[in-house]
Amino acid sequence: MEQRRGGKPKVVFVLGATATGKSKLAISLAKRFGGEVINSDKIQVYDGVPILTNKVTPEETAGVPHHLLGGVHPDADFTAEDFRREAAAAVARVLAAGRLPVVAGGSNTYIEALVEGDGAAFRAAHDCLFLWLDAAPGMMEWYTGLRVDDMVRRGLVDEARAAFEEGADYTRGVRRAIGLPEMHEYLRAEREGAVGEAEMAAMLERAVREIKANTFRLVLQQAVKIRRLSTLEGWDVRRVDATAVFAAMAEGLGGHKEVWESTVWKPCQEMVRLFL
């Protein structure tokens, strides 16, 4: 990556609610512009439960280096200030290597701490471009439900079972992840063995419904936070509407990849090209 002569170092942020496709876009941008991805999801910084936290797989990273993706003990208290310090250091390392930092994740409070914390030192020292992946709420409600169903198929229940503890504190560490608290009653009943098969099936169904509802609630909260960030002084936030991508997926005709290329990838690629 080449930085403009005499200008500040450049950093690209990929914002968006859960399930809007931030990781895919961030990895694609990093591959295209010689970058590395810095995770800004406050749950994905922890080790463990990769299905519940929706961590990208080694195959999905496509060889792009990732920073702050795991590495923190599951029971640690990794604060916004911890993230500000660690993410700033990661950005500095990526820039020192002559590469483009692409900060991507849905923890907007942590992103704001990085950009505005310490007297807005990061914003003063870097040129920042914020790409905001957004979509209509109705489409996001449908897709988050679909994604939870896929997580169940990939082993969500087994992963939650392996992490289950009777006296778990769901306000700390990786246990804040949506999915672990919701599965608690089901897993406790399973361990006690006093509930019949039909009731166990009903309890699991309720837990999955709660995971879907809480995930969509988070989506709405994240969108509100990003909208507020977009009004802050010095934040160059570009909203990219991905609704058509999810609509194409819902139709089930197989054309959503082409829609992503035209409505998300090409506009974002051009914005980053001009930014650099």
Order of strands, sheet of 66-67, starting from the edge strand that comes earlier in the sequence: 66-67, 35-39, 100-104, 10-16, 127-134, 237-241
Delimiting residues of CATH 1.10.287.890 domain(s) in the chain: 141-214
CATH architecture for residues 141-214: Orthogonal Bundle (1.10)
With a cut of 70, say whether residue 5 has pLDDT above it. Answer: no
Question: pLDDT tier at 229 (50, 70, 90 boundaries)?
Answer: very high
Decide: pTM greater than 0.85: yes
Residue 32 to residue 61: CA distance in whole angstroms = 13
Domain 10-136+229-275 in this protein, CATH class? alpha beta
Question: pLDDT tier at 3 (50, 70, 90 boundaries)?
Answer: low
With a cut of 80, say whether residue 247 has pLDDT above it. Answer: yes
Q: What is the mean pLDDT of residues 79-97?
A: 97
**Which pair of tokens denotes residue 81?**
């200030």
- pLDDT, residue 194, reads 84
Q: What is the mean pLDDT of residues 72-96?
A: 96
Question: pLDDT tier at 6 (50, 70, 90 boundaries)?
Answer: low
With a cut of 50, say whether residue 14 has pLDDT above it. Answer: yes
CB 176 within 8 A of CB 107: no
Q: What is the mean pLDDT of residues 221-237?
A: 95
Q: What is the mean pLDDT of residues 51-79?
A: 95
Delimiting residues of CATH 3.40.50.300 domain(s) in the chain: 10-136+229-275
With a cut of 80, say whether residue 1 has pLDDT above it. Answer: no
